[in-house]
Amino acid sequence: MTPEVLTVGRVSVDLYPEQSGVPLADVRTFRKMLGGSPTNVAVAAARLGRRAPVVTKVGEDAFGEYVRRALGGFGVDASFVGTHPTLRTPLAFCEIFPPDRFPLLFYREPKAPDLELDEMGDVASEAELLWTTGTGLSQEPSRSTTLAALRRRGRRPLVVHDLDYRPVFWASAGEAGRWNREALAHATAVVGNDEEVTVTLGDELSPEDSARALLELGPDLAVVKRGREGVLAASGDELVEVEPVEVEVVNGLGAGDAFGGALCHGLLAGWPLERTLRFANAAGALVASRLGCADDMPTANEVEELLCAA
């Protein structure tokens, strides 16, 4: 069947500490989970009932096998997960210092298999919604493969580009901004947090001006995630701001990916922009109140219950 949400790019095995408020050197036990932003977005969309395969690559190792099994367990089609013969499946560790400090330590050397994407076939054009990321543009051949998929799709809705900027993956912020701007020429929607938007635009603007500036680069919808300040989005003459949903934060790392999966769900459903943003904001808040990312993505009923209680 035709995919509803097709995400492309980063995957990892996350090893998150079961002790909060301590540095990695003092952690006693870790919980193993599926990770990687676009992979998490696929899981989030699948948890909401969407057909959501992910295009990525893993190593020919036990962690690669774990990734495939975990995807299947979440209802995500793993048939587009390739295997690299020599590179290893990436690992990611974090420290947990609520409410807003969650440093990550990536093991992706000498190179992550998910940056070795060299083809996608027709699936990127056939999917109802295509989700690409800035990290997927950070190295070749993934950069050229991602941009080629965007060009072939020809701005046919829906194409969401997640700015997904992590400095460790780039030689400079200027380089990240350059390639994200190139991708936005082919996207119908863009989503990013304040820092990612500033890097892409090369200038620090107000949230409203940032959203408008992103629209000038090509998309029809610009979503600026503002963490504890909520979310702002612009589309044509429409400007919507949504207040944050108050929760006790346990681990904020998966909130943006839950937001992304819920955003895809709302866009495919054709919901009004404000309803979509409120739903996505609540989905992100739920995951921020939990330890995991992929493992803890909410169902639609859980999101609606939080919205009713807020």
Indicate whether 310 pLDDT > 80.
no
pLDDT for 267 beyond 80: yes
Sequence ranges of the domains in the chain: 5-309
* 209 token code pair: 């001006």
On the question of pLDDT at 139 being above 80, the answer is: yes
pLDDT, residue 282, reads: 97
Q: Which pLDDT value is given to residue 237?
A: 86
Its pTM stands at 0.97
**Cβ-Cβ contacts under 8 Å for 237 (sequence gap 6 or more):** none
The three state secondary structure string of the chain is CCCCEEEECCCEEEEEECCCCCCHHHCCCEEEEEECHHHHHHHHHHHCCCCCCEEEEEECCHHHHHHHHHHHHCCCCCCCEEEECCCCCCEEEECCECCCECCEEEECCCCCHHHCCCCCCCHHHHCCEEEEECHHHCCCCHHHHHHHHHHHHCCCCCEEEECCCCHHHCCCHHHHHHHHHHHHCCCCEEEEEHHHHHHHHCCCCCHHHHHHHHHCCCCCEEEEECHHHCEEEEECCEEEEECCCCCCCCCHHHHHHHHHHHHHHHHHHCCCHHHHHHHHHHHHHHHHCCCCCHHHCCCHHHHHHHHHHC
Q: Could you confirm whether domain 5-309 is CATH 3.40.1190.20?
A: yes
- Residue count of the chain: 310
Over residues 17-72, the pLDDT tens digits come to 999 999 999 999 999 999 999 999 999 999 999 999 999 999 999 999 999 999 99
Phi (first) and psi of residue 33, to 5 degrees: -145, 160
